[in-house]
Structure 1
């Protein structure tokens, strides 16, 4: 196989994968199905933080994410939230957007402006960013730096 054909095939495959979050039609029932996040406690005591942090979302990778992320009293609240459509969007607590080392919180609705997630058992002081990530296409839609 020559290099040109390999390059074109790779480009087409990448485009299809990245387009999966925006162009995939899913049934309403699938979008409403909630995914329960598992909270695993370490053997050590994880001190829960009650500090208040907030930040504004910025879109990434040509995707739109807008609104405010706020952590207060062990709750993550999204206010005035909007995002590009995606079939498998989740909200994560991360450090500088690093999903692999982040904490998956729950499924997020791209078009629901007010959303609240329980953070009980999670030390929010360990994270500085709230990230919206499409698990299916492995694409970060946007992040909010917490201050």
Structure 2
């Protein structure tokens, strides 16, 4: 009789222990799935930021000439029909209201190349409303394109 009781107790204890281990693994799997979903949602948010489309036309500033169209689409900044006065160190920036000091420097821009494309990887486009052509050496804004 004692052997049956010990055997039954051992069986019940083993079952409970193994059942608890299985539940722990399920919790880990659920947490892992939750993290994967959060990661996918973050990726989607980044994709949404990069998929946003904005565009505007350049206007010259400070007696400088800048013409053409700026468009942000699919995570890229594209300049088309672009033309600018020559400058010693021209760069394209994303800015808020043309404020270069708080803006994001993207890359050098060629004053005489009509089509130019710049990658905006890891840039939150929603933070900016203007594309600015700026001469770093002379500290002069050549032109802005307000994005809509």
Q: 1:138 offset after TM fit, Å?
A: 0.1
Question: What does 1:100-119 align with in structure 2 at a 5 Å threshold?
Answer: 100-119=101-120
In the other structure, the counterpart of 1:140 is 141
* Structure 1: 5+ residue stretches without partners: 1-44
CA distance in 1, matches of 2:95, 2:78: 15
CA distance in 2, matches of 1:55, 1:140: 17
**Structure 1 consecutive aligned stretches of length 4 or more whose deviation exceeds 6 Å:** none
In the other structure, the counterpart of 1:49 is 50
In the other structure, the counterpart of 2:7 is none
Look up the SS of the partner of 1:49 in the other structure.
helix
CA distance in 1, matches of 2:99, 2:50: 21
CA distance in 1, matches of 2:119, 2:136: 20
User: Larger relative contact order (C-alpha < 8 A, sep ≥ 6)?
Assistant: 1
In the other structure, the counterpart of 1:60 is 61
Kept in 2, the 8 Å contact 1:49–1:125? The answer is: no
Higher helix share: 2
* Structure 2: 5+ residue stretches without partners: 1-42
In the other structure, the counterpart of 1:97 is 98
In the other structure, the counterpart of 1:12 is none
Larger radius of gyration: 2
CA distance in 2, matches of 1:130, 1:59: 12
CA distance in 2, matches of 1:98, 1:87: 20
CA distance in 1, matches of 2:109, 2:82: 10
Look up the SS of the partner of 2:101 in the other structure.
helix
CA distance in 1, matches of 2:98, 2:50: 20
Aligned residues: 104
CA distance in 2, matches of 1:119, 1:81: 19
TM-score by length of 2: 0.68
Question: What does 1:120-139 align with in structure 2 at a 5 Å threshold?
Answer: 120-139=121-140
Q: 1:49 offset after TM fit, Å?
A: 2.8
In the other structure, the counterpart of 2:71 is 70
